[in-house]
Amino acid sequence: MPPTLNDIREAARRIKPYVHRTPVLTNESLNEKVRAQVYLKCENLQKVGAFKFRGACNAVFSLDDETAGRGVCTHSSGNHAQALALAARLRGIPAYIAMPNTAPAVKKAAVAGYGGQITFCEPTLESREAALAKIVAETGATVVHPYNDERVIAGQGTAALELLEDLPDLDIVIAPIGGGGLLSGTSTAATELKKNIRVIGAEPEMADDAYRSLKEGRILPSVKPKTVADGLLTSFGTLTFPIVRERVEQIITVSEQGIIEAMKFIWERAKIIIEPSAAVAVGVLWEKKIDLSGLKVGVILSGGNVDLEKLPWQS
Amino acid sequence: MPPTLNDIREAARRIKPYVHRTPVLTNESLNEKVRAQVYLKCENLQKVGAFKFRGACNAVFSLDDETAGRGVCTHSSGNHAQALALAARLRGIPAYIAMPNTAPAVKKAAVAGYGGQITFCEPTLESREAALAKIVAETGATVVHPYNDERVIAGQGTAALELLEDLPDLDIVIAPIGGGGLLSGTSTAATELKKNIRVIGAEPEMADDAYRSLKEGRILPSVKPKTVADGLLTSFGTLTFPIVRERVEQIITVSEQGIIEAMKFIWERAKIIIEPSAAVAVGVLWEKKIDLSGLKVGVILSGGNVDLEKLPWQS
C-alpha cells in the first residue's frame, strides 16, 4: 500500500525527537539567476548529512520491540547505510550492513562510526543479496530497503511536509530521483497538502532510467549509469514507480556539466555543502525545460556527503 | 559612545527587512568531540556571506536622506566592501570603495557585482587612506569604517541578540576577533542580556595583537600577521578596545593547524562552508585552554567566503 499523508504525519511525529527540522534557505543570487523565488530545504544539514535518515528512522522506530531487538539490515554503501546504522544506534539495536569490499574507506569508517556492523561482499548485486540473506538467516534482522519500503517512503515525505508547513503557497517542488523513495514521499505529501502543486523529479541525463520508465510506462533498469551524482544510480522499485507515475508531473534530466555548475553555485553563493545528487535538483532550475518565472519553487537538497579532497570542479 | 543594548535592538529593527535571520545549527559529532552543547550561529549564511552585512546595513540605513544621498565609502578589499556595496544598493545610494589594485579578481568582481564603484589604489595604508580622502572630497560620501564605528558595532551585535533570543540560557559565547567590531557587538548584547554569560574572543596565534593588547592594557598594532584567517589581520580600534576589555573574559589563540582542522571538521560534519576566520572560533573549542564540559556554548560563525579552487587542506 502506498503511504498516505496520514502515514507521513505519523512518521513526522515518530521521528521528531531524532531528526533535525532542517532550515529552509533563500538566496538572492539564485533567485535573480532563475527569476523565481527559490526555497532550499536543507536535508544536507540533516543528521548523517542526508534525508535518508528520515526514512531509516521511521522504519527503525516503527518496529515492535521484539522485532526491533533482532536488529535491522540492508545492503548499501551510501547514505542509507549510515542512516540505518545511526537510527539503530538511537534505538539501541544492531544494524548489519552488507557492503561491497570496494567501497571507499571513508564510507566504511562512517558506517562503523555510527556503530553499524559491516559484512563485506563482492561488488555485485548477487553477492550483496547473498550476504544480506545470510545476515537475515543468522540474526533474524529486519531488512530495510533504501527506498522500496512504505515506512521509508513515509519518512522521506516528512521533509516536504515540513517545507509546506513553512511555505504553504509553493507552486512547485523539485526533488532528485534515484530509486524514487524521496520523490514518492515528497509528491505524496505535496499533492495531498496542496491540490494544484506541481512536483518535478530531477535526474542525471546520464542515468535517466526514471525518465525513460515514465515514458514507456514500465520500470526500466538503470543501464551502466555513469554520473557524478552517485546517489542516483538505482532504478524504480515496484512501490515507488506507481506513486511517481501518479503524482509527479514530469522528470527533467540534467547534464553532467549542469550538475557540477549547480553544485558549485550553491557552495559559492549559498555557503552550504551539497553533494552532486542534490545539485541535480538545482540544475533543473536553469535547464530551461520548464518556465519558472515568478513562481515559488521548493527544492529539496537531498544531501551533503562529499569527499572534500576530490571536488568535481578540480582536475 | 559605546553602543548600548538598546542601540543593538534598534539596529535589529532597522535592518530586519534586509538581513537573514540566520539559522542556529547543532551537530552531534561536534558535541561529542568537545563534550559540550554547541550552537552554531550561521553568519556564513548571511547575505554577502558574512556578519559584516549587519553592521554595514545598520550604518547605511541610519543616515538621514540628505547625507545618504551623497553615498557611503570605505577602503577594504574584504567582506566589508561587499557588505557596504549591497547595503547601499538596497538604499539606492552610491557606495565608493577604495581597493588595492592587488586584490584578487574574485573580490573586485564581487564588489562590482553588488554595484560598488571601485577606486584602485596601491596596497599600502597611506595609499588607501589617500584614495578614500579623495573620494570624500569629491563626493561628500560618508565613511563607514569596517569596525571602529558605533553603528557598525551595534549592527554586528544583532547576531548575538538573535542567538540569545533563541537560546537564552547559553553559558558562553565565542566570536572571532580582528578589529573587534563583531566581538564588541557580541559582548555588549550577550552581557547585557544575561548577567553571568562568558564571552570569549578567538584569535589566530599568528595574528595575536588583540591577545597582547589586552595583556598590556593598550592597543598594540598587528605586526606582519601571517595567517590563513585573512579576515582577522586588523587590530583594535579606539572604540572596540575598551568595550572588549570591559566585557570579554579572555582572548584565546588558535594555531594555524587548529584553524584548518576546525574548518575542515565543520565542512565535513556540519555541511556548511565557513571561512578560516570563522574556523578560528571553532578552533577554540578544542584548544583545551578552557573547560567547556557540559556547558552550552554559542559560536558565531562569522563568514563563508572562500576560494573554492584553493582550499587550505589541499596542497
Q: Distance (Å, rounded) from C-alpha B199 to C-alpha B197?
A: 7
Model ipTM? 0.91
Residue A143 φ/ψ, nearest 5 degrees: -75, 130
Closest CA of chain B from A61, distance in Å? 20
Contacts of B309 in chain A (CB under 8 A): 313-314
Q: How many contacts, defined by CB atoms under 8 Å, are there between A and B?
A: 48
Q: How many whole angstroms from its chain centre is CA B182?
A: 5
What are the extents of the domains in chain A? 5-50+149-301, 53-143
Instruction: Provide the pLDDT confidence category of residue A314 given band limits of 50, 70 and 90.
Output: confident
Contacts of B25 in chain A (CB under 8 A): 23, 45
Out of B47, B274, B308, whose CB is closest to A268?
A: B308
Architecture of domain B53-143 in CATH?
3-Layer(aba) Sandwich (3.40)
In this structure, are residues A47 and A53 in contact, taking their beta carbons and an 8 Å threshold? yes
Out of A23, A28, A267, whose CB is closest to B308?
A: A267
Closest CA of chain B from A197, distance in Å? 27
Average pLDDT over residues A164-181: 97
In this structure, are residues B213 and B219 in contact, taking their beta carbons and an 8 Å threshold? yes
Over the stretch A123-142, which tens digit does the pLDDT of each residue have? 888 899 999 999 999 999 99
Q: What is the pLDDT of residue A86?
A: 97
Over the stretch B194-219, which tens digit does the pLDDT of each residue have? 999 999 999 999 999 999 999 999 99
DSSP summary character for residue B206: G
* Model confidence, pTM: 0.94
Average pLDDT over residues B37-55: 97
Choose from A271, A272, A273, A315 for mutation: most chain B CBs within 10 A.
Answer: A271
In this structure, are residues A144 and A170 in contact, taking their beta carbons and an 8 Å threshold? no
Over the stretch A261-288, which tens digit does the pLDDT of each residue have? 999 999 999 999 999 999 999 999 988 8
DSSP summary character for residue B313: T
Element (H, E) at A199: strand A198-204
Over the stretch A92-111, which tens digit does the pLDDT of each residue have? 999 999 998 888 888 888 89
Architecture of domain B5-50+149-301 in CATH?
3-Layer(aba) Sandwich (3.40)
Average pLDDT over residues A9-27: 98
Over the stretch A194-249, which tens digit does the pLDDT of each residue have? 999 999 999 999 999 999 999 999 999 988 889 999 889 899 999 999 999 999 99
> Taking an 8 Å Cβ-Cβ cutoff, which residues of chain B contact chain A?
20, 23, 25-26, 28, 44-45, 47, 49, 264, 267-268, 270-274, 304, 308-309, 311, 313-314
Over the stretch B257-289, which tens digit does the pLDDT of each residue have? 999 999 999 999 999 999 999 999 999 998 888
Q: Do A45 and B28 touch (CB under 8 A)?
A: no
Q: What is the DSSP string of A203-230?
A: EEGGG-HHHHHHHHTSPPP--S---S-T
Cβ partners under 8 Å of residue A6, min gap 6 = none
A315 pLDDT more than 80: no
Q: What is the DSSP string of A10-50?
A: HHHHHHTTTS----EE--HHHHHHHTSEEEEEEGGGSGGGB
Out of B45, B264, B311, whose CB is closest to A271?
A: B45
Q: Under DSSP, is residue B224 helix (H, G, I), strand (E, B) or coil? A: coil
